[in-house]
Amino acid sequence: MNIAVFNQKFLGPASIVVSILGILFLCQPWVAFLHSWSVLVMLIGLIAFNVSVHIAPPLERVDEDDTGPVSLSQTIKTGAGHG
Amino acid sequence: MTPLSSGSRAAARGWSDITIRNLFVIPTVAFLIIFNVFPLLYSLGFSFTDFRASSKDPVNFVGLKNYVDVLADPVIWRSFATTLWYVVVSVTGQFIVGFGLALLLNRPIPGKGLLTTLLLLPMMLSPVVVGLFWKLIYDPSWGILNHALGLGKVAWLTDPSLALYSVAITDIWMWSPFVMLLSLAGLSAVPKHLYEAASIDRAGRFYTFFRITLPLVAPILLIAVIFRTMEAFKTFDIAFVMTGQPQAELISSRLYKMAFQQWQTGPASALAYIILIMVLCITNIYVKYLNKAKER
C-alpha cells in the first residue's frame, strides 16, 4: 500500500474522526481527564488533516486502450461487459 | 503579461502591468498583515505569558501554564459544555424549522416570492438588534410572548433553566431562513422525472421522501448543518445582549469576561486559541464534506 492509498483509506477519515472526538472531549460535561487532553487530540486531528489534504490522491489505473475499468468489482458495479 | 495599450493613461505614465497589480495588492496585503496576522501572532505570544492589559507589571513567560489552567478551570469547562448543548439545540431547531419551511415552499403557492423574502428578513437583521428585540418579547411583565401564550409571568431570560433555551429559540428564529434557503436550492435541483417515476410505481409519500428527496438533498443539508454548527459555536452577541445567567454562559461570553472584565489577557489568549483550534477542526470537516458534495 503506497502513501496515497493509505492517505485516502485511513489518514483522511481518521483525521476527521480524531477532530470530532477532540471537539466532543472538549465540550462533554462528564470526564475532566478527556476535557484536559482534548486540545491535544484536536491538534493531532488538525495536523493529520493538513498532512492528508497535501498528499495527492492515488492515480486510477486504466487499460492501455482505455476501453473500460480495470478491476472486476468495478466492472460488475458499473454493469460493463454484459452483452 | 500583456502590455498596456499605448493609449491608456497608465501607459502614458510609464506604469507596467506589474506596477499596477502591486498598487492594488500591496495595500490589501499590508492591511491584512497589520490588522489580522500581526494581532493573531501577538496574541499567540500573550497566551504563553502572564500579561495583564490593565497592569504595568513585567511580563513573564509561563509556557503552557495558561493552557493547563484554562483546561482545568471548572467554570470554563461548564461554558464549553453549555456551548455544546446550545449548539445541539439551536442547530437541530434550525434544521427542523428551516427544512420544514423549504418543503412547504417547494410547491406552487400564491405569493411564494413575497413569502420567501419575508421569511428571509430575520437573517438580514443585526444579531444585537435581534437580541434586544427578543429581550422585549420575553419580558416577564409586559412582553408579548407571555401575554400571547397566556403563561403569566414566566421569566424566560432570568430563570436559569430557561435562559439558554430562550437564547436558542432566538437563534433558531434568526437562522432558520438560512437553512431554508439552502434546502430550497437543494429541493429545486431534484429532477422531477424521479417523482414521476415514483408515482407511476405507486410509491407512497414517505417512501418518496426518504428514498428520493432526502438522499438527493442530504449533501446540501449537511453543508447547512456544518456551517450553522460552526457559527453557533462562535455565538456571542445574541447571548451576551440577552442574558447574564451563568447557566447560559457561552464560551465566547466567558472569553469576553476574562479578557475585558477580569483583564486576564494571557489566559484569555490561551482560551481564544483553544476556541480557534476547535473552529478550525469544524472548518476542516466542512471543507471535506463541501468537496464531497461538489463531487456529486
For the whole model, what pTM was predicted?
A: 0.83
pLDDT at B1: 46
pLDDT at A68: 55
**Per-position DSSP letters for B276-287, written without gaps between them:** HHHHHHHHHHHH
Per-residue pLDDT band for B130 (boundaries 50, 70, 90) equals very high
pLDDT at B152: 84
**Lowest-confidence pick of A5-14, B79-88, B251-260:** A5-14
Residue B153: strand, helix, or coil: coil
Dig out the grid coordinates for A27 from the structure: 465540550
- The beta-carbon neighbor of A39 closest among B71, B81, B285 is B71
What's the pLDDT tens digit per position in B196-233?
Answer: 999 898 888 889 999 999 989 988 898 899 889 989 99
What's the pLDDT tens digit per position in B156-183?
Answer: 999 989 999 999 999 999 999 999 999 9
Dig out the grid coordinates for B244 from the structure: 447574564
Percent of chain B predicted with pLDDT > 70: 96
User: Complex ipTM, two decimals?
Assistant: 0.81
pLDDT at B290: 78
Separation of alpha carbons B33 and B214, rounded Å = 44
Query: Do the chains contact at B274 and A26, CB–CB below 8 Å?
Result: yes
pLDDT at B30: 96
Dig out the grid coordinates for B59 from the structure: 511580563
Residue B48: strand, helix, or coil: coil
Query: Do the chains contact at B72 and A15, CB–CB below 8 Å?
Result: no
Percent of chain B predicted with pLDDT > 90: 65
Instruction: Find the closest chain B residue to A36 by CA distance.
Output: B71
- Is the predicted pLDDT of residue A73 greater than 60, yes or no? no
Whether B291 and chain A come into contact, CB under 8 Å, resolves to no
Continuous H helices in B234-264: 237-242, 251-260
Separation of alpha carbons A49 and B168, rounded Å = 31
Q: Quick check: B196 and B159 in contact, CB under 8 A?
A: no
Mean pLDDT of chain B: 90
Separation of alpha carbons B250 and B117, rounded Å = 31
Residues from chain A that touch B285, judged by Cβ atoms under 8 A, are 16, 19-20
- Is the predicted pLDDT of residue B75 greater than 70, yes or no? yes
- Is the predicted pLDDT of residue B257 greater than 90, yes or no? yes
Whether B277 and chain A come into contact, CB under 8 Å, resolves to yes
B49 forms beta bridges with: B61
Whether B83 and chain A come into contact, CB under 8 Å, resolves to yes
